[in-house]
Structure formats: structure tokens, C-alpha cells
């Protein structure tokens, strides 16, 4: 019979303090790496998405969403600069149809009432009018998702232009955009 006071050999079913400490440091290191990777990915996708100077296009599509005044101002500025002859304006929920003398603005209610519905409307409009390209004005946090949907669902060349968002909206937008991105990846163009 074994002596109950005898110590088991290290590495044989009993964790030593050194082993526990090593596992704890490894767990903390992995968790820290995951948090940092998530933060960097979130910043790259939603806070500072890649963008370039907008090129001339056949239409400008103003997407609905948070800070719609920032999007509208940018879309109107691009229209006034002659970046496109017509602007497609998503009415979304609770938005009015802007009227500007001398500017062609087509207002529409997307179906479904999501980014994919807005891009689908623009795609159908472009096809019906024999056009080929669009400048899509999206909210800063929505830019990456709008680009993904446009690449999949827009019949022609699309460039996504981000409208800046207030810093106070960043935390809420990060949460919303991660969920919306997963939904966009899962649902495709429907």
C-alpha cells in the first residue's frame, strides 16, 4: 500500500505551481492576442476602411443609415461636382426626398429595406438605363460591407465612398456592423 504522505512525481497527474502558472500565462497571452486582433480588424473594417478619391460614375447612390445628413451632404457635393449626372437617394425609414434645383435626384424605397435592397435598386436602375457604374455613398462604418455587397450584387462597376461619422457613434456601430457583416456574408444578394 502506498504511503499517503508520499508526493506524486511531477508530471504524473498533478499540476505543479509552475505548470499552473505557465498555463495561466499562455491563456492570458492567447486571450490578449485575440482581443488585439479583433480590435485591429474592427478598426480596419469599420473605423478606417480603405478609400480613394471618387472617380466619375453614371450614378451616385446615397445609402440610408446613421448620420444620414453626413451621407446626404457628401452625395450632394459629389453630384454638384459632376461626379455623376444623377443621384439615387434611398428613402429608408423617416427620410425625406431632397430637392435641389438643377440636380437630378431619384428617390426610392428599397426592398428589402437594407443595404442589399438599396444596391439591388441601383443595379436595376443602371441596367434599365444602359449605364455601367455607380459611386455608392455609405457611412464610414458601413463602407466595407457596402463594398462586399456591391462586389457580389451590383451589375457594373461600383466604388464605395465613405461619409465620416461622429466618434460618439463608433462603439454602437462596431457592434451593429459586425452583426450586419455576418448577415451579409450569410445571405448574399437576397
Using one digit for the tens of pLDDT, what is the confidence trace for 105-159?
999 999 998 999 999 999 999 999 999 999 999 999 999 999 999 999 998 999 9
- pLDDT surpassing 90 at residue 167: no
What is the rounded CA–CA span in Å between residue 116 and residue 165? Answer: 21
Secondary structure (3-state) at 170 = helix
pLDDT at 38: 93
What is the rounded CA–CA span in Å between residue 114 and residue 180? Answer: 10
pLDDT at 50: 84
- pLDDT surpassing 90 at residue 76: yes
Global pTM value:
0.82
- pLDDT surpassing 90 at residue 1: no
What percentage of the chain has pLDDT greater than the value 70?
90
pLDDT at 21: 86
Confidence of residue 12 (pLDDT cuts 50, 70, 90): low
pLDDT at 136: 97
What CATH code would you report for 59-187?
3.40.50
Amino acid at each position: 500500500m502506498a504511503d499517503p504522505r508520499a508526493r506524486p512525481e511531477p508530471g504524473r497527474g498533478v499540476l505543479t505551481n509552475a505548470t499552473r502558472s505557465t498555463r495561466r500565462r499562455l491563456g492570458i497571452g492567447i486571450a490578449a492576442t485575440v482581443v488585439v486582433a479583433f480590435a485591429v480588424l474592427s478598426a480596419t473594417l469599420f473605423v478606417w476602411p480603405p478609400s480613394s478619391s471618387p472617380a466619375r460614375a453614371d450614378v451616385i447612390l446615397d445609402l440610408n443609415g446613421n448620420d444620414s445628413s453626413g451621407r446626404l451632404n457628401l452625395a450632394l457635393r459629389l453630384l454638384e461636382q459632376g461626379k455623376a449626372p444623377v443621384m439615387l437617394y434611398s428613402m429608408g425609414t423617416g427620410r425625406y426626398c431632397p430637392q435641389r434645383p438643377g440636380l437630378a435626384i431619384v428617390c426610392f424605397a428599397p426592398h428589402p429595406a437594407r443595404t442589399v435592397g438599396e444596391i439591388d435598386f441601383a443595379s436595376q436602375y443602371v441596367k434599365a438605363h444602359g449605364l455601367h457604374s455607380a459611386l455608392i455613398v455609405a457611412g464610414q462604418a458601413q463602407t466595407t460591407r457596402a463594398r462586399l455587397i456591391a462586389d457580389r450584387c451590383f451589375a457594373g462597376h461600383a466604388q464605395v465612398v465613405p461619409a465620416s461619422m461622429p466618434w460618439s457613434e463608433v462603439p454602437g456601430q462596431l457592434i451593429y456592423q459586425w452583426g450586419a457583416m455576418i448577415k451579409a456574408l450569410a445571405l448574399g444578394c437576397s
